[in-house]
Amino acid sequence: MTLELKNVSKHYRKKLALNGFTYSFSSGIYALLGPNGAGKSTLMNIIAGVIEADKGSGIFLAGRSIGELGDDYRSHIGFMPQRNALIDSFSALRFMKYISGLKGLKNTDSEIAELMKKVELYGNRNEKCGGFSGGMKQRLMLAQAMLGSPDILILDEPTAGLDPRQRVIFRNMMREYSVNNTVIVSTHIVSDIEAQADNIIIMKAGEITASGTNSALLERYGCSELEELYLKLFGEKDDTE
Ligand SMILES: Nc1ncnc2c1ncn2[C@@H]1O[C@H](COP(=O)(O)OP(=O)(O)O)[C@@H](O)[C@H]1O
Ligand SMILES: [Mg+2]
């Protein structure tokens, strides 16, 4: 399913966080790469329907605008926000059932069990989220985002807190999922995406600096690795705010 963004902008009061973002997503893995403050989360929150873009912005799913689709739009979207939105007092299983209800899904018991096994939390399903480690929380947030097999899966810095083995599991899940769906993943960890992403969108100050496949980008900038290209564009120091 094609997701088209046309001239999407976002102001927070006077601050322009996203400036005329225009891009067309189809199936595959799309990585948003850029320093802190580049506008990655703003873009993802807009695509997820969590915040509204400025007037004049256009978002179209399979040719139909977000406004026209209304609530139906959300049923196509799975979202893992940058900060987890777990409910500490809920068990992992209860949280999954809760999200399933919010998404209006029915008969999801077996899907929930399957997803929890995939993220290796099935054995912890009756434990409270509040007691989970950072990595367990990330994995549960990934599982809830995938509930209902959304066409567009949006993952905002999903690998934070994962150990190397879990990163591999995560990459494989992303790869498998992206065969028939769109996965949009943000990161500032280059190694998470260079071998994985079908398309890389490099962002800075709310705009696309460059986009393309890993090899096309490397060729264009005369770099041998994505890390080198990143440093070339953004300097040795991260623009951390
Ligand atoms: N709720 C907000 N209110 C005001 N400014 C914000 C808000 N959210 C983000 N910003 C600003 O918008 C810019 C983009 O932020 P963000 O989308 O979080 O970038 P990224 O995810 O790439 O780090 C930053 O300058 C940030 O300070
Ligand atoms: Mg962010």
* Domain boundaries, given as residue ranges, for the chain: 1-76+182-241
State the amino acid at position 35 in one-letter form: P
What pLDDT, on a 0 to 100 scale, did the predictor assign at position 58?
A: 96
The share of the chain scoring above pLDDT 70, in percent, equals: 98
Residue 33 has pLDDT above 90, yes or no: yes
- Find the DSSP H helices in the chain: 40-47, 66-69, 71-74, 92-102, 109-118, 134-146, 164-177, 214-221, 226-234
Q: For position 83, what pLDDT does the model report?
A: 86
Q: What is the whole-number distance in angstroms between the Cα of residue 189 and the centre of ligand 2? A: 12
pLDDT confidence bin for 237, thresholds 50/70/90: low
Per-residue pLDDT tens over the stretch 10-26: 999 999 999 999 999 99
Q: Are 121 and 135 in contact (CB under 8 A)?
A: no
Within 6 A (CB) of ligand 1 lie: 12, 15, 17, 34, 36-42, 241
Whether 71 shows a pLDDT value over 90: the answer reads: no
Distance of CA 63 to the CA centre of its chain: 21
pLDDT bin (cut points 50, 70, 90) of residue 236 is: low
Q: What is the homologous superfamily of the domain 1-76+182-241 according to CATH? A: P-loop containing nucleotide triphosphate hydrolases (3.40.50.300)
Q: How far away, in angstroms, is 109 Cα from ligand 1 center? A: 37
Q: What would the mean pLDDT of 143-160 be, rounded to a whole number?
A: 94
Answer whether residue 240 shows pLDDT above 70.
no
pLDDT for 112 beyond 90: yes
Q: What is the pLDDT of residue 195?
A: 80
Closest ligand 1 atom, CA of 32? Answer: 22
**Amino acid 166: pLDDT:** 87
Say how many CA atoms lie within 13 Å of 154 toward its Cβ: 21
Question: Quick one: average pLDDT of 85-101?
Answer: 95
Residue bearing the CA closest to ligand 1, atom 25: 37
For residues 229-233, give the mean pLDDT.
92
> Stretch 32-49: mean pLDDT, rounded?
95
CA distance 58 to 218: 31
Cβ atoms of 38 and 27 within 8 Å: the answer is no
Residue with tokens 């591999």: 168
- Going by C-alpha positions, the residue among 135, 134, 123 that lies closest to residue 91 is 123
- By CB atoms closer than 10 A (0-12, 13-18, 19+), residue 12 is exposed
* pTM reported for the whole predicted model: 0.94
Q: How far is the CA of 108 from the centre of ligand 2 (A)?
A: 30
- The stretch 122-142 carries a mean pLDDT of 95
Question: Where residue 50 falls among pLDDT bands split at 50, 70, 90?
Answer: very high
Percent of the chain with pLDDT over 90: 78
Query: Can you spell out the DSSP letters for 22-52?
Result: EEEE-SEEEEEE--TTSSHHHHHHHHTTSSP
Region 213-241: mean pLDDT is 84
Alpha-carbon distances, residue 154 vs 30, 50, 93, 187 (angstroms): 10, 12, 22, 12
